[in-house]
């Protein structure tokens, strides 16, 4: 692909990034201590409304630690959608637990109806814990993933999981900026409803620290424990006493400095993301056989990534042919993730009535959605879609 090609999701560095990073370098505070780590945590907590935010090296490590903090033990089982980036599934395995894969809904998210049916019909509550009737294993947690920035509808799931003592760990890695505008959680940001929630600041996400993540929680003791575990579990930092096995997962000051500057840019980024969504929406609806995937009306969406749906009988090209033609025109697009229950490490794991996810994967294509995408390039993309 040529160098001036249109990328799927580029970072936008246009604020105080240079200034704050230079400050770290000038002051010699480059590693995991320094004012920006604390400041970034405070600012993320402020923005999302989470009581506590704990910075991590990436979103995957945030998920790994959050599942451990949620009480997931080796031999447990954890419910997760099959249609998601693989990171939350791997995080379940890092904790020695096994995934149970669920289907997707119209927004590519965890199918809540089927998940509730599964919990009601396929599990039992015994001595205060939920057990899988089929495997006899304890189901200790569930990971709703807010894919592409689409909020998962959590009202009913939270109620049932409370009754069943199943901890909710939200994967909000793609949905910073998305909040509910209806229901029980109106006004609440994704990632702040479960026992714990996780964000990612990878280069392709809505804001970036190069690599980085954040654990969100409303529980002070979990927050303290998260900080303890992510900084090598030091019980006495001077005499090197460790009473647990921790991790070296703390974000560095340089990365956090980038994060603080990026967070200042977030309102502008979100505004542009909405314009891009509106543009795609209004232009693509005029192309026979193509449509832009709908986003939930119960939430204010961050529109991190836009998805094209292709009806290949009407459009005369299938997903693969269209992807290739876009690439020849210097436009990068990507299919939706291969379903996790079909991935080599997870073949043989349990899955429940997976139907819709398969259809979504076959007919969808992620469109370039960077906030620094020019109007000229947007027009170019749509003109190639027009054939
Ligand atoms: C990016 C992403 C992650 C992992 O975040 P990293 O910071 O890349 O480790 C996890 N879940 C989802 C849904 C993601 O998109």
Report the residue among 80, 169, 171, 191 best suited for mutation to probe ligand 1: largest number of ligand atoms under 8 A from its CB: 171
Rounded Cα distance, 148 and 77, in Å: 25
Rounded to 5°, the CA angle 85-88-93 comes to 125
Rounded Cα distance, 179 and 185, in Å: 9
Instruction: Kindly give the distance from the C-alpha atom of residue 172 to the centroid of ligand 1, in angstroms, as a whole number.
Output: 9
Rounded Cα distance, 24 and 26, in Å: 6
Instruction: Kindly give the distance from the C-alpha atom of residue 287 to the centroid of ligand 1, in angstroms, as a whole number.
Output: 32
Rounded Cα distance, 190 and 192, in Å: 6
Question: Alpha helices of the chain — where are they, by DSSP H?
Answer: 17-27, 35-48, 59-69, 87-94, 112-122, 155-164, 220-230, 253-284, 312-315, 319-328, 356-363, 375-385
Ligand 1 atom nearest to CA at 62 = 9
Task: Name which of 191, 169, 231, 245 is nearest 52 in CA terms.
Answer: 191
**Residue ranges around ligand 1 (CB below 6 Å):** 58-60, 84-85, 87-88, 145, 171, 173-174, 200, 202, 213
Q: Residue 227: count other Cβ atoms within 10 Å of its Cβ.
A: 16
| Residue 192 φ/ψ, nearest 5 degrees | -115, 10
Report the residue among 200, 211, 340 best suited for mutation to probe ligand 1: largest number of ligand atoms under 8 A from its CB: 200
Instruction: Kindly give the distance from the C-alpha atom of residue 173 to the centroid of ligand 1, in angstroms, as a whole number.
Output: 5
Task: Name which of 13, 63, 97, 94 is nearest 172 in CA terms.
Answer: 63
All residues at 6 or more sequence positions from 162 whose CB lies less than 8 Å from its CB, including other chains: none
Q: Residue 187: count other Cβ atoms within 10 Å of its Cβ.
A: 10
The residue contributing the CA closest to ligand 1 atom 5 is 59
The residue contributing the CA closest to ligand 1 atom 2 is 173
Report the residue among 169, 202, 302 best suited for mutation to probe ligand 1: largest number of ligand atoms under 8 A from its CB: 202
98: left (phi over 0), alpha (psi -120 to 50) or beta: beta
pLDDT, residue 1, reads: 53
Domains, the chain, in order of start with CATH, read 17-264 (3.40.640.10), 266-385 (3.90.1150.10)
User: How does DSSP assign 350-371, residue by residue?
Assistant: EE----HHHHHHHHEEEEP--T
pLDDT, residue 42, reads: 98
Give the CB-side neighbour count of residue 128, counting CA atoms within 13 A.
0
35-48 vs 253-284: helix crossing angle, rounded to 10:
30
The mean predicted confidence, pLDDT, of the chain is 96
Mark the ranges of the chain whose per-residue pLDDT is less than 50.
Answer: none
First to last CA, the chain: 20
pLDDT, residue 91, reads: 98
Rounded Cα distance, 54 and 275, in Å: 32
The CA–CA distances, whole Å, from 60 to 92, 96, 175 equal 10, 15, 15
Q: Is 201 helix (H, G, I), strand (E, B) or coil?
A: coil
Are 276 and 19 within 8 A, CB to CB?
Answer: no
Instruction: Kindly give the distance from the C-alpha atom of residue 60 to the centroid of ligand 1, in angstroms, as a whole number.
Output: 6
pLDDT, residue 32, reads: 75
Task: Name which of 241, 383, 360, 253 is nearest 309 in CA terms.
Answer: 360
pLDDT, residue 33, reads: 80
The residue contributing the CA closest to ligand 1 atom 10 is 87
Q: Residue 112: count other Cβ atoms within 10 Å of its Cβ.
A: 18
């Amino acid at each position: 692909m040529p160098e001036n090609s249109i990328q799927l999701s580029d970072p936008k560095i246009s604020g105080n990034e240079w200034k704050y990073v230079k400050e770290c370098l000038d002051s010699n505070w480059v590693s995991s201590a320094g004012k920006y780590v604390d400041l970034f945590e405070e600012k993320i907590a402020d923005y999302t409304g989470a009581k506590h935010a704990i910075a991590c090296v990436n979103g995957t490590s945030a998920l790994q630690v959050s599942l451990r903090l949620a009480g997931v033990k080796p031999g447990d089982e954890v419910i997760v959608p099959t249609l998601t980036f693989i990171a939350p599934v791997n995080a379940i395995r890092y904790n020695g637990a096994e995934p149970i894969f669920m289907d997707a809904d119209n927004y590519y998210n965890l199918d809540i109806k089927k998940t509730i049916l599964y919990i009601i019909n396929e599990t039992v509550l015994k001595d205060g814990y939920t057990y899988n009737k089929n495997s006899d294993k304890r189901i200790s947690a569930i990971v709703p993933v807010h894919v592409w920035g689409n909020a998962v509808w959590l009202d009913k799931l939270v109620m049932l999981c409370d009754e069943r003592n199943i901890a909710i760990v939200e994967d909000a890695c793609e949905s910073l900026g998305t909040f509910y505008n209806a229901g029980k959680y109106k006004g609440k940001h994704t990632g702040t409803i479960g026992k714990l929630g996780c964000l990612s600041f990878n280069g392709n996400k809505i804001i970036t620290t190069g690599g980085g993540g954040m654990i969100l929680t409303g529980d002070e003791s979990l927050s303290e424990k998260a900080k303890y575990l992510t900084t090598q579990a030091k019980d006495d930092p001077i005499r090197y006493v460790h009473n647990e096995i921790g991790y070296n997962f703390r974000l560095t000051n340089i990365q956090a400095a980038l994060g603080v500057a990026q967070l200042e840019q977030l309102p502008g980024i979100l505004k542009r993301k909405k314009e891009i969504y509106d543009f795609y929406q209004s232009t693509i609806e005029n192309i026979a056989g193509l449509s832009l995937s709908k986003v939930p009306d119960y939430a204010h969406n961050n529109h991190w990534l836009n998805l094209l749906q292709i009806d290949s009988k009407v459009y005369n090209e299938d997903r693969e042919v269209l992807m290739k033609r876009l690439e020849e025109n210097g436009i990068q697009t990507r299919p939706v993730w291969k379903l996790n229950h079909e991935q080599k490490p997870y073949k043989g794991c349990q899955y429940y009535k997976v139907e819709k996810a398969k259809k979504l994967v076959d007919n969808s294509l992620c469109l370039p959605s960077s906030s620094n995408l020019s109007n000229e390039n947007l027009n170019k993309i749509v003109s190639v879609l027009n054939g």
